[in-house]
Amino acid sequence: MNLDASAAALAATAVASVRAGQPLLVDGFTTWRAVARELLRAGVPPQAITWGAPGADLFSGAPGEAAHHGGDLLSSQVQAAAQEPSNATAPRPPRPQVPRSLMEMLQTAACYRDHDRWAFLYRVIWRWQQGEHDVQSPADPDGQRLHTMAKAVRREVHDMHAYIRFRERPMEAGAPHFVAWFEPAHDVLPQVAEHFVARMGKVSWMIATPDASVLWDGATLHHTGPLMSSAADLDDAGEALWLTYYRSIFNPARLNTQVMNSHIPSRFWKNLPEGALVPSLVSQAGLGARRIGQVEAVGRRSGRTIPIEAEMAQPERQLPSKLDECRRCELWEHATQAVGGEGPKHAKIMLVGEQPGDQEDLAGRPFVGPAGKLLDRVFEQAGVEREGVYITNAVKHFKWEPRGKRRLHKTPAQKEIEACHYWLEKEIATRKPRVIVAMGATALKSVLQTGSVTLKDKLGRPVRHGDSWVVTVYHPSYVLRVPDEASKHEALSVMVEGLRLAQELLDRPDVPEPPEG
């Protein structure tokens, strides 16, 4: 007996079953509609009906599941209707009239998984027949629930269209070429199947869910019971290509996890191929990839270089109040964060380096990498306590260029030194150091505000600059780069003697500036 015949048989015996106190077990909207029509014609109120058995759903009529969902009761109702003699002469009430819009909404809401959905839908249609037409309005409690159920079903259909991922299978006789696994929250598989029939043409495919499956062989759509237990049963050799593409288009600089979670609910991620990549990509973005995501391949196009004076290259803009807000040059675009100075508020000695390195850029503190460890040795040999010295850099953002997976230091340009002098000047004005130790040529140019000075001319010779003495030494990274041990030892000695000289200048502030030449 086909579905229409089953629905007709149940409808014919529905009133008698209700009067006998038997539950009405339906296997879908078509059956429910036929049964509800007969109950309405007989004037049976909602409170007199028991619909179905606990756990029944739209797929309760699937092969192999009839016994579990009360199939024996369904068969007995069909057989009773078939054996009951019909009284053709008895007058029948007219069929109830229901508007198309309400019937379409009832059919959509019937896919909503709820233990009392059939009883609720019958209550809605009963109230309509009693003249309570506001039951279709969202302002009515039942109408609001009906609209909510229909909206949830439509959303689930949309989500299945968007988040189903077909895996390609080897070509085998009788087997679908593409297979997908999905875990829908509502019974929307039949509607979704029709969508993919129209979209995928004659290519064979299958969509499996925990409750049912649909199989398209290129000409006919087959509905069956569950055929798979999880997405782990699927394997696709071409999926690696998709994951490679997904990694390449993931832009950490534009990551917004809140928007990502709102657009794709978490229950879908576990069955998406790219779901396994997202946690690591988000973690990398938080560790610095967010700021360095715009590399040369996707960054700003190179243009024609126009010679211009450094001070004229700075745009007129409002002065930033916080270092993290600084946009006075372009270095912030590729740095993880700005690195400010560190030390006592009124330190008498200020050490000025060139710029943060790779480790300083990630940690947000000056001189914590290899150069910082060498600087600790210099402090120890010079007999100066690091905790009593204020340490900073002339440039506050890390300037670098990619070399494979590494970020290599790149010397700041003069316009970048000029742009960042705004912050160094504020540090000097706030701390008022009596001695400034400039480590390297970049620091010396920034402190003295001149581009013509050379490092060798000032090594070991303190000069007066404003209210402070300026002592020049090598930068720790220079000592690390020197190839031979003799030159390395000499450069290290220059740094040690420079710090000792800075300490002596504190003890003898009246030392006159040595003459030039």
Q: Is the pLDDT of residue 396 over 80?
A: yes
Give the residue, 234 or 133, on which the prediction is more confident: 133
Reported confidence tier of residue 476, pLDDT bands at 50, 70, 90: very high
Q: What is the CATH number of the domain that holds 450?
A: 3.40.470.10
Q: What is the pLDDT of residue 68?
A: 37
Tokens of 41: 């014609």
Task: Answer yes or no: is 297 within a domain.
Answer: no
Rounded Cα–Cα distance for residues 210 and 161 (Å): 17
Task: Answer yes or no: is 444 within a domain.
Answer: yes
pLDDT tens track for 116-127? 999 999 999 999
Task: Answer yes or no: is 460 within a domain.
Answer: yes
Q: How many domains would you assign to the chain?
A: 4
My answer on whether 340 and 477 are in the same domain is yes
Q: Which three-class secondary structure state does DSSP give residue 465?
A: strand
Tell me the chain's radius of gyration from C-alpha atoms: 39
Tokens of 122: 């019958």
What's this model's pTM, rounded to 2 decimal places?
A: 0.47
Q: What is the pLDDT of residue 77?
A: 45
My answer on whether 144 and 274 are in the same domain is no
My answer on whether 176 and 246 are in the same domain is no
Q: Provide the pairing of β-strand 468-473 with 349-353.
A: unpaired
Burial 440-467 (b: 16+ CB within 10 A, else e): bbbbbbbbbeeeebebeebbeebbeeee
Q: What is the pLDDT of residue 319?
A: 63
Using CA atoms, how far residue 42 sits from 14, 23, 120, 125, 345, in Å, is 10, 17, 18, 14, 91
34-43, 153-162, 463-472, 505-514 — which is least confidently predicted?
A: 505-514
Q: What is the pLDDT of residue 14?
A: 81
My answer on whether 23 and 84 are in the same domain is yes
Q: Which of 276, 292, 308 is the last residue of a domain?
A: 292
Helix-then-strand count for the chain, H and E: 19, 12
My answer on whether 251 and 326 are in the same domain is no
Residue 182 φ then ψ, to 5°: -150, 150
Q: What is the pLDDT of residue 324?
A: 85
Q: What is the pLDDT of residue 26?
A: 84
My answer on whether 367 and 429 are in the same domain is yes
Cβ atoms of 180 and 168 within 8 Å: the answer is no
pLDDT tens track for 314-358? 656 556 678 888 888 999 999 999 999 999 988 999 999 999 999
pLDDT tens track for 83-128? 444 444 445 666 778 899 999 999 999 999 998 999 999 999 999 9
Rounded Cα–Cα distance for residues 163 and 56 (Å): 27
Long-range pairs, 109-112, Cβ under 8 A, ≥24: 109/146, 109/149, 109/150, 109/153, 110/28, 110/29, 110/32, 110/58, 111/58, 111/153, 111/156, 111/186, 111/187, 111/188, 111/191, 112/149, 112/150, 112/152, 112/153, 112/186, 112/187
Q: What is the pLDDT of residue 449?
A: 87
Q: Which of 89, 120, 152 is the last residue of a domain?
A: 152
Task: Answer yes or no: is 517 within a domain.
Answer: no
Q: What is the pLDDT of residue 78?
A: 40
- Residue 379 belongs to domain spanning: 320-507
Which has the closest alpha carbon to 209: 233, 237, 181, 185?
181
Q: What is the pLDDT of residue 328?
A: 87
Q: Is the pLDDT of residue 450 over 50?
A: yes
Task: Answer yes or no: is 305 within a domain.
Answer: no
Q: What is the pLDDT of residue 351?
A: 96
Rounded Cα–Cα distance for residues 52 and 226 (Å): 22
Cβ atoms of 161 and 78 within 8 Å: the answer is no
My answer on whether 184 and 254 are in the same domain is no
Task: Answer yes or no: is 456 within a domain.
Answer: yes
First to last CA, the chain: 114
Q: Is the pLDDT of residue 395 over 90?
A: yes
Give the residue, 314 or 432, on which the prediction is more confident: 432
Q: What is the CA angle 375-381-384, rounded to 5? A: 75
Task: Answer yes or no: is 244 within a domain.
Answer: yes
DSSP 177: S
Q: What is the pLDDT of residue 313?
A: 63
Q: Is the pLDDT of residue 192 over 80?
A: yes
My answer on whether 228 and 145 are in the same domain is no
Task: Answer yes or no: is 492 within a domain.
Answer: yes
My answer on whether 102 and 171 are in the same domain is no
My answer on whether 191 and 124 are in the same domain is no
Q: What is the pLDDT of residue 300?
A: 54
My answer on whether 182 and 254 are in the same domain is no
Cβ atoms of 212 and 222 within 8 Å: the answer is no
Q: Is the pLDDT of residue 194 over 80?
A: yes
Q: Which of 198, 218, 233 is the last residue of a domain?
A: 233
My answer on whether 143 and 195 are in the same domain is no
